[in-house]
Amino acid sequence: MTVAVPDCRFCLENRLLVDELILETEHFYMLGSIDPMVPVAGMVIPKRHSTDPFDFTGDQWRDFGKALSAAKAHFDDKAPDGFALGWNIGGVAGQHVFHAHLHIIPRFKGEPNEGVGIRRVLRAPQWRPED
């Protein structure tokens, strides 16, 4: 692990997370969504501070598939019909926390934005699949 960037909420060494880690691999961890507009979702986040995925090392990319598979499996009990995955890279693209993180959003038949892409899913009315 590298030195944390001061005040970065995703650098684990800073101990700024208010939510608990859902899972971990060697180079990544996953958090659940705290956004009420997207209650069934998560983020796959590198343990090493990287502003964006273009800065990932070869070791991180080799571990990424394992992290993504584990993140998908985490949502198996919700029985999603599909997924939307997205990176926001840079402020102009909507990145607000400048520590890389991949949004993983399970999608369901019958949801208000069924059939539309990730650009609109984040603007959907609050919706939660049956537990």
Domain residue ranges in the chain: 12-121
Distance in Å from the first CA to the final CA of the chain: 37
- Token readout for 114 is 């069924």
3-state SS of 70-122? HHHHHCHHHCCCEEEEEECCCHHHCCCCCCCCEEEEEECCCCCCCCCCHHHHC
The whole-model pTM stands at: 0.85
pLDDT level of residue 105 (50, 70, 90 thresholds): very high
CATH number of 12-121: 3.30.428.10
Model pLDDT for residues 33-88, shown as the tens digit of each residue: 888 878 899 999 999 999 999 999 999 999 999 999 999 999 999 999 999 999 99
